[in-house]
Amino acid sequence: MPDSSSTLFTPYSLGKLSLPNRIVIAPMCQYSADGDGNATDWHLIHLGSLALSGAGMLIIEATAVSPEGRITHDCLGLWSDANAAALGQVLDSVRHHSSMPLAIQLAHAGRKASSAVPWAGGQLLSVEDGGWPCVAPSAVAYSAAEPAPTALDAAGLVRIRDAFVAAARRAARIGIDCIELHGAHGYLLHEFLSPLSNVRTDAYGGSLENRMRFPLEVFDAVRAAFPADRPVGMRISATDWVEGGWDLEQSVAFAQALKARGCDFIHVSTGGLSPLQKFAVAPGFQVPFAERIRAATGMPTIAVGLVTEAEQAEEIVAKGQADLVGVARVMMYDPHWPWHAAAKLGAKVNAPRQYWRSAPRGAGDLFTGAKIGMR
């Protein structure tokens, strides 16, 4: 236990999973799989570095449950046993040097699949250019310049639900501690939620209850397939930032429905569904959405949104705006951000023994259990 008054560095439990502090490394797409969805040496280096950071939990990037569910050709997958073997080998090496809980974000990109990697423009790839046909709740394109995706029929819904289940079982077999379902950023499950992308007239479209139906069916199926003692949560976009789209009050209703089904946490982001979105980016700009959902539901909540300073993260959890704070891009810029946050807040953090001598003068007893002797 830390001996400071920092709330950020107090333990927290998601169901039966214990986290040493309230810092969560949020998923960050790396676009570095081998083309068949398999993890590579890049993932060993990347995840290994983050797993030595002292954060409370690491969530592995959006991982596709089927080949057509990838954002790009180079996205990580968990649709095959070969995918599981490659990722499992990476995680075995990471665990040899870190006890950090490891989660994974399972995803299907829907109409935002078949894209070029960001450093090649990130635009939709046509079939002629090496892309593949996209599926979605409705035949509604992401933008006017893109062709419409194919609306999923009943068999397609079953196929995708079962793909999530199969990926969850593979995740369990390779020892993943926690699953986060990706229901945010304009990808498939978010597309079902939003009336801007879901114009179906069957039981999966129209009313809020109907638009929530498929994401809830996926949650129920994954929850049943994943070991009961390991948590399952969901990431959502609390608003589309577009008039007439998905919004905070609908997000509260969705979170309440998830809670009733045994959802262990909700990870609150915003946007990504429409190029018409309008919002102003500022430090902590998404935190009020997490605060509202937490207050309305009592669910364990992860807040994100340009959280870059230790004092900022401390305030979020100390004030009860969220239970945990998600950090992502700042972790790529500063992979030891939790160390530096602990030093600022007078707390302790886990670090590998090989690094115990790295604490600067004046940082105090920064690393938990550190004992240094030299001659």
Please give the share of the chain, as a percent, with pLDDT higher than 70: 98
> Exactly one of 31, 142, 187, 204 is catalytic; which is it?
187
Per-residue HEC secondary structure of 90-123 comes to HHHHHHHHCCCCEEEEEECCHHHCCECCHHHCCC
As a whole number, mean pLDDT of residues 231-256 equals 98
Confidence band of 1 (pLDDT split at 50, 70, 90): very low
d(CA 338, CA 98) in angstroms, rounded, equals 15
Count helices and strands in the chain by DSSP H and E runs? 10, 12
DSSP 8-state symbol, 127? G
Confidence band of 251 (pLDDT split at 50, 70, 90): very high
The gap from C-alpha 230 to its chain's centroid, in whole angstroms, comes to 16
Cα first-last separation, the chain: 30
CB atoms within 10 A of CB 190: 27
Confidence band of 360 (pLDDT split at 50, 70, 90): confident
Q: What is the pLDDT of residue 374?
A: 65
Q: What is the pLDDT of residue 366?
A: 92
Contact between 306 and 283 under an 8 Å Cβ cutoff? The reply is: yes
Active-site annotation holds for 187: yes
Is 234 a residue whose pLDDT tops 90?
yes
Which residue's entry shows tokens 């262990």? 264
As a whole number, mean pLDDT of residues 294-323 equals 97
Q: What is the pLDDT of residue 309?
A: 97
Is 61 a residue whose pLDDT tops 80?
yes
Q: What is the pLDDT of residue 364?
A: 65
d(CA 78, CA 84) in angstroms, rounded, equals 6
d(CA 327, CA 324) in angstroms, rounded, equals 10
Segment 134-181, tens digit of pLDDT? 999 999 999 999 999 999 999 999 999 999 999 999 999 999 999 999
Is 267 a residue whose pLDDT tops 50?
yes
Q: What is the pLDDT of residue 48?
A: 97
d(CA 169, CA 369) in angstroms, rounded, equals 36
Residue ranges covered by each domain of the chain: 12-358
Segment 5-33, tens digit of pLDDT? 899 999 999 999 999 999 999 999 999 99
Is 79 a residue whose pLDDT tops 50?
yes
Contacts of 262 (CB under 8 A, 6+ apart): 223, 232
Q: What is the pLDDT of residue 2?
A: 42
Round the average pLDDT of the chain to a whole number and report it: 96
d(CA 193, CA 160) in angstroms, rounded, equals 16
CATH fold for domain 12-358: TIM Barrel (3.20.20)
Side-chain half-sphere exposure of 296, counting CA atoms within 13 A: 18
Is 371 a residue whose pLDDT tops 90?
no
Select from 16, 177, 149 the least CA-distant residue to 91.
177
